[in-house]
Structure 1
């Protein structure tokens, strides 16, 4: 099975509600969809959203990487030599992890279809159903409490709360308002998106612990590069600390794990550069007895389907953050994962199970 064509498409889908974090506000999901065609007629799909404040990628840079670098490199390559193909992609450019992820997931889609297996089975097959959390954007305490109530009423039992944008006391008021509204049974995770300094983070987390706010974990409390600061927070709080933006590669993960700088790791295909590298991070974390979450950027169901298949394939991936398609005003993918409330079913179709896309969301360059 050889690659005969690689195409890219610009896509824009409005969000039904603005998505706000300490780093950015998103109202429209812009992304690059990748389509790979093979000589036996198999078609694979991938996706790469530009997340400038995290990966540094843009729509233009993603398109250039795929069309200007990967396409000439991979045309007529046999996917029977998949390890060689993935190493070519990974070694052909420094950075550009989102573009690498789009190519990687499209090729994995093709390979799993050739094997006549759903992708999650092809790369591990641990489970075929997972449950996602739902994210509460950072707003006023009152608005966040109302949003949390709405999501719980819609059947979500785990909420991911965005914090880190304002004063620590404001963040604590947010969590107190949410807890008052939804009670103590719903699982709450916090994501500071690098918004705190190490000592501030310890102060904030200890106050939350003292007030009995029952936080499951805190995600990326400090700047991505501050591994020592991350370790300081982990060592000086009882609440579990998760590394997210600090971990792009297996080398980052190795350093975090060796230092004991975090209790958990959040793997995202857009940071890792795709499934091939993400599996390495998951296996490495597993060797240290560390559990992982798999999350995403603001992606359509194409990218989330690939991430969900990877997540379901690995036994030490125990948390899932795949609510992005539920935030969109439209669905681009024909096929892929199926949402039944918070439950995601991967299905039994070979590969990613994506048959095509809704071209009404395509935009001109």
Structure 2
């Protein structure tokens, strides 16, 4: 079972509505799809979206890294030597975590197909069902309140609210408008996307606590590099603080965990470099008694299916943020994870469970 070819396919899908955060605005979901074919006919699929402001990668860099560095290192290698193949993948180039993740996902699709198991079962099989939140983009308080109400009415009682784009007063006004519109029952999580300084974050969170806005957690309130600032926020607030952009690698996670700088970690395959490294980060967090969320970038159902299989396999993953495919105007994937409102389930198909992929209006099996 040797790797015969590694192919790449660029795809682009418009979003129903622009997705706005403190870091960027996205109107079209762009990605590179990866297809690995083995000499016994086994195929595996992966995905890598460019997220310049987080991973530093572009469509061009992802495709070129896969074509000219990762593929030459892996073609001809046996998938039965899994540790060696994954070691080669992750040591062939520094960084480029999304490019690595796409290939890693396709490899894991092949591994699970070889075993005849859905990937989440091969990796640990903790659960067969997940429940996702839905993200409210940064806009005016009135627009965000209307969006939040629509998502709750459509069966998403857990909302992730983007903040941190301008002033604290504006952010508080946004949350107050949302809470007034949706009532007290729905769960609200905040994601500042590095938008506050440590003192601003503490002030904002304390004001929200005083106003009893019912915030479950706050994600990445300060710049990614500022672990000391992250710890300051964690130590000076009672709401749970979650590290996201601060944690790409196991080394990053260890730094946050040893210093007790966050209450939770958000693992994303595109930051970690794929499933292999994500498993290591989660196990490390579990050893510290710190639960994890698994999220995604603006990805299609291909990449999010892989993240969902990873999340469902691990007991220490207590929350997921997998709404990205629901934001897209088109679905290029048949099979994979299945949505029933906020509930995500899996088929009995081996691997990722993907049965068909459409790129350039052509079906690729």
Q: C-alpha distance in 2, partners of 1:179/1:342?
A: 20
Which residue is equivalent to 1:266? Answer: 266
Contact 1:145 / 1:177 at 8 angstroms: preserved in 2? yes
Aligned position for 1:93: 93
Task: Tell me the TM-score normalised to structure 2 length.
Answer: 0.98
Shift of 1:359: 2.3
Match of 1:118 in 2: 118
Which position in structure 2 is the counterpart of 1:345?
A: 345
Look up the match of 1:223.
Answer: 223
Structure 1 equivalent of residue 64 of structure 2: 64
User: 1:76 and 1:10 mapped to 2: Cα distance?
Assistant: 24
Counterpart in the other structure of 1:255: 255
- Per the alignment, do residues 217 and 361 of structure 1 end up closer, same or farther by CA in structure 2, a change over 3 Å counting? farther
Could you tell me which residue of structure 2 aligns to residue 312 of structure 1? 312
1:308·1:346 contact (CA, 8 Å) conserved in 2?
no
SS at 1:326 equivalent = helix
Cα contact 2:31–2:49 (8 A) shared by 1: yes
1:128–1:347 Cα contact (<8 Å) kept? no
Task: Give the TM-score, by structure 1 length.
Answer: 0.98
| 1:87-118 deviation digits (Å, cap 9, x = unpaired) | 11111111000000000000000010000000
2:327 maps to which residue? Answer: 327
Equivalent runs, 1:12-161 vs 2, <5 Å: 12-161=12-161
1:58: how far off? 0.4
Please state how far the C-alpha of 1:356 moved relative to its aligned partner: 2.3
Which residue is equivalent to 2:212? 212
- CA offset digits 1:301-321 (Å, max 9, x no partner): 000000000000000100000
For residues 243-282 of structure 1, give each alpha carbon's deviation from its aligned partner in whole angstroms, at most 9, with x where no partner exists.
0000000000001000000000000000000000000000
**Per-residue CA shift, 1:307-341, capped at 9, x if unaligned?**
00000000010000000000000001121011000
Gaps of 5+ in 2: none
**Distance in 2 separating the partners of 1:112 and 1:6:** 18
Deviations 1:103-162 (CA, angstroms, capped at 9, x unpaired): 000000001000000000001110011010000000000000000000000000100000
Corresponding residue of 1:297: 297
Q: Which segments of 5 or more consecutive residues in structure 1 lack a partner in the other structure? A: none
In structure 1, what is the Cα distance between the partners aligned to 2:318 and 2:328?
Answer: 25
Q: Residue 360 of structure 1: CA displacement?
A: 3.8
Q: For 2:346 and 2:197, how far apart are their aligned partners in 1?
A: 39
**Deviation larger for 42-51 or 352-361:** 352-361
Count of equivalent residues: 362
Aligned to 2:188: 188
- 1:32 Cα deviation after fit: 0.2
Distance 2:183 2:251 in 1: 40
In structure 2, how many angstroms separate the alpha carbons of the residues matched to 1:360 and 1:54? 28
The one-character-per-residue Cα deviations of 1:332-360 (angstroms, maximum 9, x if unpaired) are 11210110000001221100011221224
Give 2:232's aligned residue: 232
Per-residue deviation, 1:361: 5.7
Look up the SS of the partner of 1:358 in the other structure. strand
